[in-house]
Amino acid sequence: MPSSAGKGTRRTPKRGVRPVTAVAAAFGLVATAAACGGGSAGGSGGSRVVVAIAADPGSLSPTTALASTALAMNSFAYDTLVHIAADGSLIPGVAEKWTVTSTSARFTIRSGVSCEDGSALTATDVAAEYNHIADPANQSPMLGFSVPVGAVAKADEATRTVTVTTKRPAPFIAHMARLLPLLCEESLAAPAALAKATGASGPYRLTEAVPGDHYTYARRDGYSWGPGGATGADLPRTVVFKVVANESTAANLLMAGQIDVAQINGGDRQRLDAAKVKNRSVEGLFGQLLFNQAAGRPPADLAVRRALISVLDLKDLRNVSTGGDGTPPTSIGEVAPTPCTGDPVAGNLPAHDPERAAATLTAAGWTKSGGTWTKDGKPLTIGFSYATNLGSQVASAVELAVQKWTSFGVKASAAPVGGASIAGTLAGGDWDVAWAPIGVTLPDQLTQFYDGPPPPKGNNFGAVANPDYHRLAARASAMPGTSGCALWEEAGAALVKRLDIVPIVSRPMRHYAKGVTFQVDGGGIIPSTLRRSAG
């Protein structure tokens, strides 16, 4: 097959990309993997689809943006080497084939892939992007997210191949590639210019950006390298992302036909369901407790963690936090579709047993005096942190836990955290227990939270030091792809058994739609599946 066209002399990419972290995305990541159908087309027009987004995406620069809304929107403009099917298996994208080991991946780039300026996307472009992100000087948050730490990429234009190698095992190196938005030369040389523009390699290009209000994307003609070779022939000509901060307002606009798609997770679901507005959903981890095990913090004592959980009825917390819409979690944060689907949670948490909780504390040297548990003259004091943007139901669940602990003899208090993410509070270290579900796409992405250094050098917020998790994760990391899934499940179970984390509840994350059909994944709507539906 002929090689893609070359580009001539290549400029050195600019450095000094804005430093951001993947942590905020991890604490807000939600994934779905099902078709979503709708009824009437409403008032948006037959070739125009309006999608509600809850917040402005901020910068859209694809090598720096990791806000969940930005990721969803960028998937319309930038394609990836591979895609993932609903069963967790990989399917071709810009790469027509690939081979992997635990420390390498070799991708063969399709012929005929182009960017919106008409230039060919070549193996050299892809290798340059890998190396740009892998260079710590560029401070890209994609490092460790879509590109393994320490990765080195080399291109061979004669064979249209890109070979990525790492010094340390990267067991899901090919799966990570589905999170890498691909850029051509000019865009990579000036990534900051894409904050409110696109250098598109995907099916759409951004034509209008009005921050705080809307972003308009136009379909690219000739697109033919989507998942499994999907084309853009049947895609809507225009997709508009409309900022609608209030869920009730979004539901109203959907019912009135002024928008076509909205993700609704709160109480407005009931009236949409009553009106028979169609939706599809998949479970995502919604509630998980994380303990601060830093020296001097009460949860550093395993007996304290066991007592705190034994006092609680996790089923009650599950129901209160979701209004009865939650289910027992079957993962510790890997969101579907994901290559490893084992259940590390079932059977690994202590049962509701306040008497056993009291015995556990007593055996660990705690005594109850005046209705309060004390040790070495200090009362057992616990602050329960949670993000207020999670809604009133989570606040009620936190208050319920505080009441149970207080009745048991713990000096407990709720600690609400304003803003969109609790990551800042966790990094600061002044907390005891946190409602902190983490969402990732691959099991090895959790190691930074449970096996790395604590802040400020890393993201192991709870200062977790679990020898079984460390050992099992190391073994799993040495095995490429799904061959290590059984070990990853054992590693996750080790965290749950030791109560380093306590997964509480999963809940369906629903996209409601009228007049359109599509599929969604961890980044939102899969662009190649978006269609207008009849009636």
CA distance 162 to 81: 10
Residue 215 — very low, low, confident or very high, per pLDDT cuts 50/70/90? Answer: very high
Mean pLDDT across the stretch 418-432? 85
Distances (CA, A) of 328 to 339, 436, 484: 20, 16, 25
Per-residue pLDDT reduced to its tens digit, 268-325? 888 999 999 988 777 789 999 999 999 999 999 999 999 999 999 999 999 999 988 8
| Residue-level pLDDT at 26 | 64
Structure tokens at 304: 């304290």
Q: Report which residue type is found at 455.
A: P
Q: How confident is the model at residue 62 (pLDDT cuts 50, 70, 90)?
A: very high
Strands 381-387 and 411-417, bridge-based pairing:
parallel
Question: For tokens 């099992």, what's the residue?
Answer: 472
Tens digits of per-residue pLDDT, 405-423? Answer: 999 999 999 999 986 568 8
Q: What are the C-alpha distances in Å from 301 to residues 186, 288, 366, 447?
A: 54, 19, 11, 22
Confidence (pLDDT) at 43: 38
Domain boundaries, the chain: 23-278+514-532, 283-508
Residues in Cβ contact with 8 at an 8 Å cutoff, skipping those fewer than 6 apart? none
Banded pLDDT at 523 (limits 50, 70, 90): low
Instruction: Check residue 83 and give its pLDDT.
Output: 92
pLDDT of 168 over the 80 cut: yes
Task: Report which listed range, 12-21, 36-45, 97-106, 381-390, is most confident.
Answer: 97-106
* Interval 256-268: pLDDT, tens: 999 999 998 778 8
Contacts for 266 with CB less than 8 Å, ≥ 6 apart? 247, 391
Residues 6+ apart with CB under 8 A from 414: 383, 384, 386, 395, 398, 399, 402
At residue 390, does pLDDT exceed 90? no
User: What pLDDT is attached to residue 509?
Assistant: 81
3-state helix vs strand vs coil in the chain, percent to 5:
30, 25, 45
Q: Going by CATH, does the domain composed of 23-278+514-532 fall within 3.40.190.10?
A: yes
In 414-439, which positions are buried (b, 16+ CB within 10 angstroms) versus exposed (e)? ebebeebbbbebbbeeebbbbbbbbb
pLDDT value at 28 more than 60:
no
Residue percentage of the chain with pLDDT more than 90: 72
**CATH homologous superfamily of 283-508:** Dipeptide-binding Protein; Domain 3 (3.10.105.10)
Q: What is the pLDDT of residue 31?
A: 32
Residue 296, classified by CB atoms within 10 Å of its CB into exposed (0-12), middle (13-18) or buried (19+), is: exposed
What's the mean per-residue pLDDT of the chain?
88
Of 241, 235, 240, whose CA–CA distance to 220 is shortest?
235
DSSP 265-278: -STTHHHHHHTT--
